């Protein structure tokens, strides 16, 4: 009979984590034995794994806290940088220049912390083990979330990133606590299920019934929830109805309210007393016509979802530009979209460019505010270069811009080029375009060509302004007078 080996002597002693040199707590003990091979010891040692220097939490095998303040600082710092890199990449993929994307990321610390918190929720078990996330894992978690935000906010995404948290984000975050974000779990699907699942009594959810009565159909309601999942969790009595009643009081037709909600469902989540009404009072104080709120909100409901800081920054820029308080209100009443433009990335660079070609930026933003949402390199400069290539001086281009502010918003291929070619066929001197650049605002097939054919058929020659700007009756009277008929 084989001699049984005596059990090895086992003892527990404190150890130091290598290579970091961290003294572990007294209760963390290491298995020590004199023998080199023992099945029982091997089994025990698997339950007490040795330090692999990956992380302190990994060494201890204890759950890591989920809050940013308690997760290991080095790991958090690394993931902040990873989150910045992912956001920068995403913005560049959306068409922003590298320098602009970097500038946005560097001044969006609040949003970066928000992304890190998303990672901690998405990879809760990984954080419990203290294991560092890989770059692909971080991208897999954040890119779908950023895509969802992009679909939700469209052109306002940059503003949301820079001004996080915005007026409605706190409520959205509160709602999201019951809808954990993970790469495999879709908040959108849960939200859609919430509005498509009948109650225990077989009735449609209250939110759906109310919106159907308001004039929406089922597919429109689903589209809103796909765009903004938090909408499915809004209370009809506390959120939706108060907004609808306010819009009706402001003169918005009931038939227009579904369109407003579809454009900006976040409007329903804003506090009426803390945000919406104070913002309206502020805008009225700077000149927005209170009698025109119906038109303003219908055109651009997002105006009332912007932060006070965002609005004040834009107003301050317009004042700096030389626009009076009264005219600021007129601009925002007529073109509330102006508030969606970034001061640093759109308004200021555009104003400086227009000044460089001799245009009056303050006057131009009042006449054609939409021109200030254009990219200088991609849109404004090509228009200027189009005219320079045709021997217009920079001074003449400035005059044309002052006289016809939207000239830089027109399409080169579909507007300027074909109309300029026809202008050459008419054999007018170039100064006619400088005097009347509004020529480019008329339809080539429905106005310019028919009027020119009628004029030449009568054997007379009118200046561009006379040929195009007058009514049909006035045009015929001018021709009669010129021909002596």
Does some domain include residue 455?
yes
List C-alpha distances in Å: 276 to 87, 242, 309.
Answer: 30, 11, 14
**Nearest by Cα to 261 from 314, 317, 316, 223:** 223
- pLDDT value, residue 38: 42
Does some domain include residue 197?
no
Whole-model pTM? 0.60
Coil/strand/helix, residue 107? coil
- pLDDT value, residue 164: 72
**Nearest by Cα to 218 from 240, 195, 245, 191:** 195
Q: Which ranges constitute the DSSP H helices of 274-416?
A: 277-285, 293-299, 308-321, 325-334, 348-356, 361-367, 381-388, 394-403
- pLDDT value, residue 35: 37
Does some domain include residue 190?
no
Report residue 14: phi and psi, to 5°. Answer: -65, 150
- pLDDT value, residue 23: 39
Per the structure block, which two tokens stand in for 441? 């605002």
DSSP readout, 185-245?
B-HHHHHHHHHHS--TTSPPPHHHHHHHHHT--HHHHHHHHHH-GGGGG--IIIIIHHHHH
* 87: containing domain: 72-171
Does some domain include residue 32?
no
Does some domain include residue 85?
yes
DSSP readout, 113-158?
HHHHHHHHHHTHHHHHHTPPPPHHHHHHHHHHHHHHHHHHHGGGHH
Does some domain include residue 43?
no
Does some domain include residue 130?
yes
CA 38/CA 7 separation, integer angstroms: 9
Q: Which of 152, 171, 190 is the endpoint of a domain?
A: 171
Residues of the chain whose pLDDT is less than 50? 1-71, 166-185
Report residue 13: phi and psi, to 5°. Answer: -140, 150
CA 389/CA 386 separation, integer angstroms: 5
Per the structure block, which two tokens stand in for 397? 């281009």
CA 373 to chain centre: 14
- pLDDT value, residue 79: 78
Per the structure block, which two tokens stand in for 446? 């429905």
Q: Cβ(163)–Cβ(239) under 8 Å?
A: no
CA 268/CA 240 separation, integer angstroms: 6
**Nearest by Cα to 156 from 257, 275, 266:** 266
What tens digit of pLDDT does each residue of 365-421 get?
999 998 998 889 999 999 999 999 999 999 999 999 999 999 999 999 999 999 999
Does some domain include residue 292?
no
Number of domains in the chain: 2
Q: Which of 120, 142, 171 is the endpoint of a domain?
A: 171
**Mean pLDDT, the chain, integer:** 80
CA 485/CA 475 separation, integer angstroms: 14
What tens digit of pLDDT does each residue of 313-362 get?
999 999 999 999 889 999 999 999 999 888 988 899 999 999 999 999 99
Q: Which of 153, 171, 189 is the endpoint of a domain?
A: 171
CA 288/CA 279 separation, integer angstroms: 11
- pLDDT value, residue 155: 62
H-helix or E-strand spanning residue 29: strand 29-33
Going by C-beta distance under 8 Å and a sequence separation of 6 or more, which residues neighbour residue 286?
A: 315, 325, 328, 329, 332
Report residue 70: phi and psi, to 5°. Answer: -110, -10
Residue in the block written with tokens 């971080």: 138
């Amino acid at each position: 009979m084989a001699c049984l080996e005596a059990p090895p002597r086992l003892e527990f002693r404190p150890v130091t984590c290598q290579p970091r040199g961290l003294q572990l707590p007294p209760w963390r003990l290491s298995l020590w034995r004199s023998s080199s091979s023992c099945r029982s010891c091997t089994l025990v040692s698997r339950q007490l794994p040795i330090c692999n220097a990956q992380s302190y939490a990994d060494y201890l095998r204890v759950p890591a806290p989920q809050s940013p303040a308690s997760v290991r600082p080095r790991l958090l710092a690394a993931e902040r940088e990873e989150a910045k890199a992912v956001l920068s990449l995403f913005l560049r993929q959306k068409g922003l220049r590298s320098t602009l994307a970097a500038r946005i990321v560097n001044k969006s610390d609040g949003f970066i912390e928000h992304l890190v918190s998303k990672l901690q929720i998405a990879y809760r078990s990984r954080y419990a083990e203290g294991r560092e996330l890989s770059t692909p894992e971080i991208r897999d978690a954040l890119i779908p979330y950023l895509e969802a935000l992009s679909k939700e906010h469209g052109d306002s995404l940059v503003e949301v990133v820079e001004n996080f948290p915005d007026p409605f984000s706190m409520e959205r975050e509160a709602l999201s606590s019951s809808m954990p974000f993970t790469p495999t779990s879709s908040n959108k699907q849960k939200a859609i299920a919430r509005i498509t699942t009948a109650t225990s009594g077989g009735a449609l959810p209250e939110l759906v019934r109310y919106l159907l009565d308001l004039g929406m159909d089922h597919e429109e309601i689903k589209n809103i929830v796909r765009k903004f999942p938090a909408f499915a969790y809004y209370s009809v009595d506390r959120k939706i109805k108060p907004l609808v009643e306010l819009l009706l009081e402001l003169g918005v037709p009931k038939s227009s309210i579904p369109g407003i909600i579809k454009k900006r469902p976040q409007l329903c989540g804003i506090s009426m007393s803390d945000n919406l009404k104070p913002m309206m009072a502020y805008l009225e104080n700077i000149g927005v016509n209170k009698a025109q709120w119906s038109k303003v909100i219908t055109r651009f409901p997002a105006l009332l979802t912007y932060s006070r800081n965002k609005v004040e920054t834009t107003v301050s820029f317009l004042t700096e530009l030389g626009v009076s308080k009264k005219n600021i209100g007129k601009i925002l009443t007529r073109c509330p979209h102006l508030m969606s433009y970034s001061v640093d990335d759109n308004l200021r660079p555009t104003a400086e460019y227009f000044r460089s070609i001799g245009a009056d930026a303050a006057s131009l933003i009042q006449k054609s505010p939409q021109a200030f949402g254009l990219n200088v390199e991609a849109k404004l400069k090509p228009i200027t270069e189009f005219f320079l290539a045709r021997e217009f001086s920079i001074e003449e281009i400035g005059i044309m811009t002052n006289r016809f502010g939207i000239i830089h918003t027109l399409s080169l291929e579909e507007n300027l080029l074909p109309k300029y070619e026809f202008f050459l066929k008419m054999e007018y001197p170039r100064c006619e375009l400088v005097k009347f650049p509004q020529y480019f605002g008329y339809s080539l097939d429905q106005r310019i060509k028919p009027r020119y054919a009628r004029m030449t058929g009568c054997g007379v020659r009118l200046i561009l302004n006379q040929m195009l700007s007058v009514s049909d009756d006035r045009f015929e009277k001018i021709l009669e007078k010129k021909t002596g008929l």
